[in-house]
Amino acid sequence: MKFGIIGNTDKAGLADAVEALIQKLDASNESYVLDREVFSLLEGKSKKSSAGRCTTVDECVGEADILVAFGGDGTILNAARAVGPRSTPILGVNLGKLGFLAELAPDEIEAAIGDILKRQYVIEERLILEASFPSDSGKKTHALNDIVIGKSSYTTLIDLETHIDGSFAVTYRADGLVLSTPTGSTAYALSNGGPIVVPTSRVIGITPIAPHTLSGRPLIVPDESSIRVIAHANGDEVSFFADGQLAASYRSPVEIQLKSASFKAKLIKRVDRSYFDVLRAKLMWGKDPRGV
């Protein structure tokens, strides 16, 4: 089994965490490759790095049986984007604050790798969204968390004419719209009043951003659905974001078509940890904020 190692070099503690992984892999005689930026960071801090060959992220993905990503959820989203249809399993190590995707703590690396080498782990398949733009033939973008339709002007509301499987559903008048996977239900959708969705569920969430009317409510549809949204913003530009990254901007009216991608992301999870364990830990779910 070969491991690919990537990470966010801006995160404190990255070098020590990667070194702990390398020591475990060396002791187990397992092979690995490192992204060039991680490799350079280890050399700069006089950490052991000679056993792992320096490569690009794309080469890491291409050679690895398992991709280990150190950072926060943004690092995992970037890793999923790099993996794409190859569907290389990703193990996330959280060096950030919250971390729903990168839920493994640095002090759990040795035990987690031991479990993986013994084949004692779970691979969860996560829905990927695929968005296309009829006015821009051939352009597609993918997202593990969400596709967000946003406005370019602070004062402009967008009319978001939403169709599901060819049938008109609703026109949201709002600041924008979040089209989310179950994985992304705890991201931007949640902050806009969307529900928490168990990430293995087969659904897509549609959540308006600051709707202009109280009747603008979130909607959950099956993941087999074909979603079509026509955005009207009085001729202003409308921007589209995939997992927080700007994917495209067009002058309105503009149409986006969205469906489940033909491939899924694969995240490695520990056998002894459930999604509800993560919710309780990360959101202090069920805790009394008064501390009583």
Q: Which residues pair with 277 in a beta bridge?
A: none
Catalytic residue among 73, 146, 175, 243: 73
Give the pairing of strands 219-222 and 237-242: unpaired
What's the Cα-to-Cα distance from 80 to each of 7, 50, 106, rounded to whole Å?
Answer: 13, 27, 20
Residues 6+ apart with CB under 8 A from 1: 30, 31, 65, 66, 116, 117
Please give the Cα distance from 113 to 118 (Å, whole number): 9
- State how far the Cα of 124 lies from the Cα of 106, in Å rounded to an integer: 21
**The dihedral formed by the CA atoms of 226, 131, 242 and 248, expressed in degrees to the nearest 10:** -140
Distance of CA 250 to the CA centre of its chain: 24
Q: Is 272 one of the annotated active-site residues of the chain?
A: no
CA distance 2 to 23: 15
> Strands 167-174 and 140-143, how do they pair?
unpaired
Catalytic residues, which ones? 73
